[in-house]
Amino acid sequence: MASPQVHVFADAQQVAQAAAERFVAAAAAAIRATGRFSVALAGGSTPQRAYELLADQPLRAQVDWAHVHLFFGDERCVPPTDPQSNFRMASLALLDHVGLPPRNVHRMIGEADPSAAASVYEAELRVFFAAQPWPAFDLLLLGMGDDGHTASLFPGSAALKEQQRWVVANRVEKFQAFRLTLSPPAINAARHILFSVTGPAKAQRLQEVLHGPRDPMRLPSQLISPTGGNLEWLLDKAAAGHE
Ligand code: 6PG
C-alpha cells in the first residue's frame, strides 16, 4: 500500500473545499470508467461543510448525481429524524439538494434492531458489489474522534477485530449504546479513503495515530490501511499541530 498522503490546510473551510473537490474528481473518474460512483459518507460534524459545498454551485453542477450511489460508513442507532442521525445530517446538508434518485441513497436503518440492521445493510452492499470479496467503494470518507476512533470503530470495541463481516452492530461502552459501522476490512477495501480532521482538540491523538507506536485497539484510526487503494489525510493546521 502506498504511504498515506497528508495535506495540511490553513483552516476547516479549506479542508472542506479540498474534500468536496476530491469528491467531484472521484465521481467524474468513476462514472467515466464504470458508469457509476459509490461513496460512503462520514458522519459527525466535520464533513458537514464539505457536503454543503457539494450541494451548492459551482460543485453541484459538476457531479452527475443520477449515477452517484451514496452509502454510509456508520450510523447511530436512532431514527433518521433524530438530531444524532448521520443520515439526517447528510440529508440536510446534501441529499435534500441534489436530486439523487431515491434508490441511489443507501441508508443504514438506525431505528431497527442493531444486529438486524447490520445484516440488512451488509446484504444490500453484497448486492451492489455483487461477486466482490469486499465492498470496493470508489470513495470512502472518514473523520476521527479525539479518542482516535473512526467510523464507529471505538477504542477497545469488538468491531476492531472483525475480519469477516462487512457491517456490524458495535457496542460502544462510552455511549452505552450500539452503533452500526463498516468493519475495518470493509473500509480498507475502498479505492480511495479520505480522512478529514480539523481542530486543536484532535492534534495530540492525531500525532499518536500518524507517528506514534502501533496500538490499534487504543487508536482505531491506525486500522485504516487500504488494501489496494490510497489513503489521504486532509488536516487543518490546528489538527496538524502547526499552530
Ligand atoms: C460519527 C462519525 C465519527 C466521526 C468522528 C469525528 O458517526 O460520529 O462517523 O467517526 O467522524 O466522531 O466527529 P466530528 O467530525 O464531529 O469531530
What's the grid cell of residue 180? 452500526
Strand 74-76 relative to strand 5-9, pairing: unpaired
Q: Which residues line ligand 1 (CB under 6 A)?
A: 42-46, 73-74, 86, 143-145, 149-152
Q: What is the pLDDT of residue 184?
A: 98
Query: With a threshold of 0.95, does the pTM exceed it?
Result: yes
Q: Which atom of ligand 1 is nearest to the CA of 198?
A: 17
pLDDT tens-digit profile of 64-102? Answer: 999 999 999 999 999 999 999 999 999 999 999 999 999
* Residue 225 amino acid letter: S
Q: What is the pLDDT of residue 74?
A: 98
Nearest CA residue ID for atom 7, ligand 1:
43
DSSP 112-150: S-HHHHHHHHHHHHHHHTTT-SS---SEEEE---TTS-B
Distance in angstroms (rounded) separating the CA atoms of residues 149 and 145: 5
Mean pLDDT of the chain: 97
Domains and CATH numbers, the chain: 5-240 (3.40.50.1360)
Q: What does the pLDDT average to over 11-32?
A: 98
Q: Which atom of ligand 1 is nearest to the CA of 47?
A: 15
Q: Residue 167: name the closest of 181, 177, 184 by CA.
A: 181
